[in-house]
Structure 1
């Protein structure tokens, strides 16, 4: 795809955008695995349409609310990358393109407040308590809300740390409140194979929640905190870092991109990404 990026876009952001846009052949195979395209059938709600919208924004063409809303509809799941024959790194282009779109078409105040509220709630210890309250009130809720309440967790028992082989567990944020049994099940399975899961008390959200909700600086802060928290465990012999949420695992793999401009952490981020399971 031909590009005419302005000189105002420079550095690694320009390289990322140019490489991704030139690689795209506009074949549309990505739409076959895009959940939002499958749901709507609309070109702008698929990767190919979004790539064109981002290209226009990066080239300085007018950006409207429709452009921003189409990008907001992206789940960031990267399923499109699994079927792209040209190897387009859509997620890297999306990061650069969304920033350009938001600069040209800022989000309305109500939208910014909603996203700030979601970030605050998801990262709050109160999320688990509110999930429990929602389950208690589930029979009284309207059907539209009832279906959104996460089910009660199953058996959450976890074996003690008792093996020489250890893996660091990402406890996370939303999953810990809505589906705590996932991590417990992982601990029980690995325990049978002679591996104990250990946690770092200071670690928490991988950064995906703020990263996907217009708060890249906050995501970087969380990434640095996790790197600092996991370092002693990894230096003490832990073999890897385990994420039982696919979205969290993907975001951990992207730490080198997230911290690429931080000389104190970018090499540590690369080493961590290689240890993520």
Structure 2
């Protein structure tokens, strides 16, 4: 694909990386076969190929509207499209770069900014999210039906296996999982225990950074990743896998 990025982006490392990815695309359309939003909406702009053109327009300085951003927002960043791309286009990286730059160049309406700010502060905070979810579970019976279906019933974590094995593997508890699905890691620990592997969590580890990353707060996402690496490193040095 031929590109002509504006100087504003062409002189940056992210812009040059995006241009390299764009040039790899031959717009064959194989990616649409594995894109869930394209399969659901059957709109070219809600498929990888169409979104690549929208991102190209933005990086080349053409007018991009809120409607264009809506099509990018609908992308799940599942990267299924990459599995069928014969040219090896790094679509996931391209959409991350473009979304981040678009947030800087096209400020969202105040209401959207407030919602995104709230999500980025509440969800990665394990204690705050757990408290709010618990409140929702308490009042679940009286909530409107549409909202009630979105609140999972309260569950209690089952005990982990007590046995200790020579092989140890690290698991991430995360931010939402301990409150929403507290048995997930416990179930994995029981399976691994049967295989002679002990699974442990690092108490200091927290959110993986995905929420911030997908809301284009890339630096905060990197901070979360660094904190987790610091939390895991002593166990890794001690032999954990």
| 1:163 partnered with 2:178 | no
Measure, in 1, the Cα distance between the counterparts of 2:81 and 2:215: 20
| Structure 1, unpaired ranges of 5+ | 240-277
The TM-score normalised by the length of structure 1 is: 0.80
Q: Is the 8 A contact 1:54 1:101 kept in 2?
A: no
Please tell me whether residue 4 in structure 1 is matched to residue 4 in structure 2. yes
Matches within 5 A, 1:114-193: 114-124=115-125, 125-153=127-155, 156-160=158-162, 162-193=164-195
Structure 1 residue 135, shift from structure 2 partner = 3.3
Which has the larger displacement, 185-194 or 145-154?
145-154
Give 1:119 deviation, angstroms.
1.5
Q: Secondary structure at the match of 1:197?
A: strand
With CA pairs under 8 Å and 6+ residues apart, which has the higher RCO, 1 or 2?
Answer: 2
Counterpart residue number, 1:252: none
How far did 1:141 drift? 2.4
> Is 1:63–1:101's contact at 8 Å kept on the other side of the alignment?
no
Closer, same or farther in 2 for the Cα pair 1:219/1:43, shift >3 Å?
Answer: same
Q: CA deviation at 1:152?
A: 4.0
Q: How does 1:14-163 map to 2 (within 5 A)?
A: 14-124=15-125, 125-153=127-155, 156-160=158-162, 162-163=164-165
Q: Deviations over 1:16-66 (max 9, x none)?
A: 212211111212222222222222222211211111110011111112111
Question: How far apart in 1 are the matches of 2:176 and 2:183?
Answer: 12
Unaligned runs of 5+ in 2: none
- Check conservation: 2:157, 2:182, Cα contact below 8 A: no
Task: Assess, with a 3 A threshold, how the Cα gap between structure 1 residues 22 and 12 changes in structure 2: closer, same or farther.
Answer: same
> What secondary structure is seen at the aligned counterpart in 2 of 1:52?
helix
Range moving further from structure 2, 158-167 or 44-53: 158-167
Deviation per CA, 1:69-93, whole angstroms, max 9, x where unpaired? 1111111111211222221111111
Is 199-208 or 140-149 further displaced after alignment? 140-149
* Aligned-pair CA distance for 1:231: 0.9
What is the CA RMSD across the aligned residues, in angstroms? 1.8
Aligned length in residues: 239
Question: Where does structure 1 differ by over 6 angstroms across 4 or more consecutive aligned residues?
Answer: none
The answer as to whether partners of 1:210 and 1:219 remain within 8 angstroms in 2 is: yes
Q: How far does residue 190 in structure 1 lie from its aligned partner after superposition?
A: 0.5
How far 1:157 moved relative to its partner?
A: 2.1
Cα separation, 1, equivalents of 2:134 and 2:36: 29
Q: Distance in 1 between matches of 2:14 and 2:208?
A: 23
Question: Are 1:213 and 2:215 matched, yes or no?
Answer: yes
Cα drift, residue 154 of structure 1: 6.8
CA contact (8 A) 2:99 2:216 kept: no
